[in-house]
Structure formats: structure tokens, C-alpha cells
Structure 1
């Protein structure tokens, strides 16, 4: 089956838009989706950035927030700017890695993005994420314990290393089995089409 890998960081605004559409867009072309969390921090740090480029460049940030509002409205999904941006996405990313092995990563990812950018809520603490995990019928204490274990920490680190190796420099990004890289939520359909037409 043809598939794409969807690389995302929970701190990424445009990844919210992609997360809410990825499964549906891919399914329409018979393409599977591998949900792959990673951290933008090390990638930005290598470029000398210590903050989101949307904060570093004021005009770019102003445009992004207005653009997000327009796009969310067009797609019929809620959008509310969180008070803190970017939020610390480390724990959410580690939890998503746990969900990869158990089949609930997509639901967790959509719920976490909706809480953050749909409802404007904080998603950086264990208490915040416990509410999300519980709403999905998961044992939050158990999931958090595994996410913060040595193996849980290593999983997200390894995923970030894999993103760098794949050439990922921003989120959302999509890669195909043959190594093609597509960056941006507006490249989701293009990535899916490539995967569908270049399947082995």
C-alpha cells in the first residue's frame, strides 16, 4: 500500500491544519499515513534560531495568525490563538510516540491540536495532557509513565534524528517511500498524489 509519513511538532500551527485533514485526504487516494512526531527545536537551533520564526520575524508572525484564522474558517475547524506560543511540545511528542505502537496516535494528535489551536488551551503540562488522554479513554497515568521513561525519551529523540536525516526542516512535512519531501500543510494533497502514483 502506498503511504506517506506525516512529520509534525505539536508546537507547529500549520500542522494543526494538516492533522485534521491528513487521514481523509490520504484515504481518498488509497494512501496510508504514518504519523511521526518530532521536535523542531534542534532543527531551528542548528540554524541559529532560539524561538519560532513567527516570533523572530514580527511581520511573518502577524501574517501567520491571520492566515491560520482564514484557513481554519475555510476548512470548518475551530481556531483560537493560545496565550503562549510556541508551547513546550516535548511531553506531547513523547506521548504520541507511545501511541504509535498502540494505534491511537492519530486520535491523540488531533485531540491535542484541537485543544491547543482549536480551543486555545495549554498542552504543555502533564495535567493538560492527562485531560486529553482521559477523554480518549486511555489510562493517563500509565501512558505518562511510559512516555517519560528512558525508552519514551529515546523514542522522540530517535524520531527527531530520523526527521533530520530525511531532510525535514519545518512542520508539517510529508515524505514518501522514495524519499520525496513536501513541506507545508498546502502540500498534503501533492504528497498524497505523489505517493499514489509512484507506489512500488
Structure 2
């Protein structure tokens, strides 16, 4: 992906507990290859935003009919994209630790690979991503020593950065994940990823 002063930035806001974020994070880098668009990963916590709206958990849990549709839709879309899929035993999963590690690693070239590894563990194999062992395996898959990064999830600076990101998501009007932001333009949902990339690719001014 070309990076330079004329690049437009595409921010991908995602939550590790989000099913559709799995699809977007798995596809984004391949779709952006060869475009003039710069990708910026934006992990955040959707739970606090839901609570702002009086929701104590995922709408897919609160509305069983919507939930049943979502799981069937996920199975179809994963098959379409060639992604592994397994309904995890717990939903929504606690993605706080993964989000903190991702936040600490945003400037690392392997951060996208780490996110994909965590999502695949959860929605491809049904693993519990709140388990340090699962996160260790995801870091090892990136060919890096895991312990320093596992330690960073306890760092006050990392915790503050994730809270700041979630607050910024609020200010941007983000209400679900994944969400894509290009300048002042917001796109919501994995099925809008291609639209967001097309918009960013045709933009004339960098964000």
C-alpha cells in the first residue's frame, strides 16, 4: 500500500467481540493492496457505547430473532470469503485484553496480523480470547516474543489510550462495529467496507 503526503486515511474501528468485525479485519488489508489508501486500525470498546444507549449487552443477544439471523449470516459470509467459522460458546466474548494489546501495538507492522489471529481464534475455532494463553498464541503467530506485549495490557498508558479511543468513537458518532471513517464520512458494517474503500480511493484531499 502506497503511503505518502497525498494518501487518504481509512480508519477501521473494530471491537474484538464483534462478529462482523472479524470479517472486515480479515479482508481489509488484501482489499487495500495496490490502492492509494492508508489503513489505520482503531480498536475500541463497544460495551461502554452500548451502555450509553441503555443496552447492557449486544443487540444480537437482546433480540434472539436478530441473533439467530446474524449467526446464519455469519456462516454464509464466512463461506463466501473462505474464512473458518465456529459459533463460540460465549457471546459476546470479553475482548478487553486483546484490545489493550492491539492498542499498544498499533505502530507495529504485525498489528493487523495479530488482530486477524485473535479473531480467527474466536470465530474460527471458538476459543476464549480473554485467556492469556490464546493471546500468547496469537502473538507467537506474529513471530514476536509474547511476554512483553502481554505485560503491556496492564500498563496505565495502554489503558488510558484505549479509553481515549473509545471516547473518540463516541464523538465520531460510532454506534456499532465495524465502522469505517474517511475524514468526516462514516460507514457502518462489513457490507460497507468496499464502499468505504471506494470513497477513500476517490477522495481528493488527505484526512
Q: Unaligned 5+ residue runs, structure 1?
A: none
8 Å CA contact retained: 1:2, 1:196: yes
User: TM (normalized to structure 2)?
Assistant: 0.93
8 Å CA contact retained: 1:29, 1:193: no
Distance in 2 (CA, whole Å) between partners of 1:101 and 1:193 is 25
8 Å CA contact retained: 1:93, 1:156: yes
SS in 1 for 2:105: helix
Q: Unaligned 5+ residue runs, structure 2?
A: 1-6
Task: String of CA shifts for 1:147-186, please: whole Å, max 9, x gaps.
Answer: 2111111111111111111111100000002x10000000
How many residues get paired? 199
Q: Which has the higher helix share?
A: 1
Question: Partner of 2:199 in structure 1?
Answer: 194
8 Å CA contact retained: 2:121, 2:134: no
Alignment of 1:105-120 (within 5 A): 105-120=111-126
User: TM (normalized to structure 1)?
Assistant: 0.96
Question: Partner of 2:92 in structure 1?
Answer: 86
8 Å CA contact retained: 2:44, 2:99: yes
Distance in 2 (CA, whole Å) between partners of 1:199 and 1:170 is 27
SS in 2 for 1:121: coil
